[in-house]
Structure 1
């Protein structure tokens, strides 16, 4: 049992830190949140310009866990929720330069041109493939072994690019997609496990899926959490943390704060250094192995008459096999109403990532030429953009590589050696917004309820 905590400092106002602060505050804990930027939210940022509303970071939140749904209700955001339009259920994958819809039924799975007859038969053999004894295989190794090369190339490769902005060859299945690993380990098959495990998933808090955002965009979520906190210091870059006589203190660009019973560092792992973490040089070297690939996001608006494709879906993903210079695009104005003027389409296009990192850091003009050429070919675009914006993330999403246990063990060792210190963020227990919300809620429960993390 750990001692009761009364005062906590959280460094970093990303969604994990904000949610942890919000829940700790409900337990009666005094919490100070420090953020180096002028506003909270981390990578979650919405920009409104005239009739255009764009997202610099996450565009949607997939609501499938009761815990997250209850949190949104308690925040008072249910009335602000925007459910994605029905068209968003259709998703496209590029095959031979054509946007093909992903199968959504057994009939469409049988007739889709995305996979050959042999590739479809190969998927049906999945229940008879023995499970692997390798407990840390790559996503690519797992999928090719269980489902075949076509499924890897034209389903999982673009899917991984859409979630992690990375390649399946670079990611650990057990860490990046633990559910897929669990299905193989528990049921010996993804197909059998999907059906047999549905009851168990409901018991674990799964609810009917709903793809959402909010009336004022995704940033309305962190801004709402932040408004309900008692103490937040914006434009305060924390330069060092120190422990003396069993208590922690924080030194920011604007002064010294403390004492605290607990420090939560909710910052990217690549920003950790000896001033912020009492770690050895070898430990910091290990943590720096986590790769955050660079990513560019192009936000482009076009007249509807200038786009041949109906854009009747969520968006499209580009398999690496297609040898193109974009990872994919979201049809943002199809996803949600009021994201663009009535006679316009808004697209969010992704470039770079772990697949083509050298493209991500090109300047806006170079990238625009690349993206326009691809869109002309793929969706029949003619005409110039009526709106354009470019967001560059030099270090975007942490890649959970094979051997990631070494990262997690190192973090655990640092925490055990420094009682009252916790490292939190999307480098641990999932990268999605719902993952970060759940992690924040559980961390607060564990800290206030004396449960081990």
Structure 2
């Protein structure tokens, strides 16, 4: 038996929920979006102050999938796209207190001081490392086995800090970086798989990579989607979600909504409780195992004359081995024009995460002193900030820990038991903005057809 979906409620106006609502409207499904905050977008937030334009959440969007590119085009945002400056292709990693560029060619890979001769030869041996039969392994275990300790310490460790604000020892390879797991399983080697699988990836919808934002910043994306929705209720904190005889109702701070054929809870797992999600004690206990490490983001502006480093790149990442108090920094005004006054640099610095959670919660002034000291050492900073802002995320990015199948199985069990309910968000199928866009589009396609009961 199947039931056609005609009316849907989406709790939470994060990017996954917004995209799902937008696409469902294309199928003539009636959708209500209810959001606790005064504006849509979830963690995506852009703030404009005088000649400074800063991002509190994601700074960029990496376009590499045709599905995402076509979605942005259909939104009417192609003319608003802002492509990152060419310098952004250069990325730095700290080694012995110096910003070393990541290799971008075979020659630079041979000559880079980031890795010793032994470390480089160890990478070349990767195709001869046998495939691991146990796929439930951490990112650290996988990388050290296939590529060696140096590659783990000075490539993957900072890379994981930059993406997940976490440590490779805390993340499941299969869930956090499924492509790496797929390459080993299908080709037995990351190196062979990268070359041999390029044609297949294009057939799956991969396009040439383009790093972008928008003229008014990243928040222009959720705001544009929201403008095209028929029904959105801001400042509506949802208090309960209930079901009776196959019909769903949503109770918010400002009234009762419904009935609905389907409810999508587009809320972080840490916000779930038994009032807004019909889950058992054990299910809730299991879901709460997902760790969202705390993260502080400092947005700092300096006179160009006060910074010795050219800041000629995307930014830098700090390996844990370097024993620093920051995870890394973005050179935001290098990335995109018009993010800072002409004679200023805008730098976005990240502190805490799964590596040093105790640092994230420090007050703004204490963090500023800590960060300025690090920047003095690393980029030759000599002056005081001309602009400063601090954003604290008590729970930042979900960590797809080892054994994450337990989380996904629990979510599926809830959805199977409570037909008409979906849990959506960056805790499943990828944390990036493009991942959330793809997940939203796919969820809408699934719901707009018939849902089997």
Partner SS state of residue 32, structure 2? strand
Tell me which residue corresponds to 1:265. Answer: 265
Tell me which residue corresponds to 1:94. Answer: 94
Alpha-carbon shift at residue 452 of structure 1 (Å): 7.6
Partner SS state of residue 2, structure 2? coil
Residue 313 (structure 2) pairs with residue 313 (structure 1): yes
Tell me which residue corresponds to 2:38. Answer: 38
Alpha-carbon shift at residue 451 of structure 1 (Å): 6.4
1:52-201 equivalence runs, <5 A:
52-201=52-201
Q: TM-score, normalization: structure 1?
A: 0.99
Tell me which residue corresponds to 2:252. Answer: 252
Q: Is the 8 A contact 2:64 2:207 kept in 1?
A: yes
Partner SS state of residue 3, structure 2? coil
Once the two structures are superposed, what CA deviation does each residue of 1:403-450 show, in whole Å capped at 9, x if it has no partner?
000000000000000010000000000000000000000000001123
Tell me which residue corresponds to 1:347. Answer: 347
Tell me which residue corresponds to 2:285. Answer: 285
Q: Is the 8 A contact 1:296 1:390 kept in 2?
A: yes
Tell me which residue corresponds to 2:409. Answer: 409
Tell me which residue corresponds to 2:395. Answer: 395
Q: Is the 8 A contact 2:279 2:414 kept in 1?
A: yes
Partner SS state of residue 134, structure 1? coil
Q: Is the 8 A contact 1:445 1:451 kept in 2?
A: no
Gaps of 5+ in 1: none
Tell me which residue corresponds to 2:424. Answer: 424
Q: Is the 8 A contact 1:446 1:452 kept in 2?
A: no
Q: Is the 8 A contact 2:297 2:351 kept in 1?
A: yes
Q: Is the 8 A contact 2:291 2:399 kept in 1?
A: yes
Once the two structures are superposed, what CA deviation does each residue of 1:67-112 show, in whole Å capped at 9, x if it has no partner?
0000000000000000000000000000000000000000000000
Tell me which residue corresponds to 1:217. Answer: 217
Runs of 4+ in 1 over 4 A off after TM superposition: none
Q: Is the 8 A contact 2:3 2:452 kept in 1?
A: no
Residue 383 (structure 2) pairs with residue 383 (structure 1): yes
Tell me which residue corresponds to 1:437. Answer: 437
Residue 450 (structure 2) pairs with residue 450 (structure 1): yes
When the two chains are superposed, the root-mean-square deviation of aligned CA atoms in Å is: 0.9
Partner SS state of residue 53, structure 2? strand
User: CA 1:56 to 1:207, structure 2 compared with 1: closer, same or farther past 3 Å?
Assistant: same
User: CA 1:451 to 1:249, structure 2 compared with 1: closer, same or farther past 3 Å?
Assistant: closer
Once the two structures are superposed, what CA deviation does each residue of 1:188-222 show, in whole Å capped at 9, x if it has no partner?
00000000000000000000000000000000000
Q: TM-score, normalization: structure 2?
A: 0.99
Q: State how far apart, in whole Å, the 2-side matches of 1:56 and 1:2 are.
A: 43
Gaps of 5+ in 2: none
Q: State how far apart, in whole Å, the 1-side matches of 2:298 and 2:306 are.
A: 18
Once the two structures are superposed, what CA deviation does each residue of 1:292-318 show, in whole Å capped at 9, x if it has no partner?
000000000000000000000000000
Partner SS state of residue 337, structure 2? coil
Q: Is the 8 A contact 2:5 2:450 kept in 1?
A: no
Once the two structures are superposed, what CA deviation does each residue of 1:379-419 show, in whole Å capped at 9, x if it has no partner?
00011000000000000000000000000000000000001
Partner SS state of residue 412, structure 1? helix
Alpha-carbon shift at residue 2 of structure 1 (Å): 3.1
Q: State how far apart, in whole Å, the 2-side matches of 1:51 and 1:450 are.
A: 50
Alpha-carbon shift at residue 3 of structure 1 (Å): 1.1
Q: State how far apart, in whole Å, the 1-side matches of 2:215 and 2:430 are.
A: 26
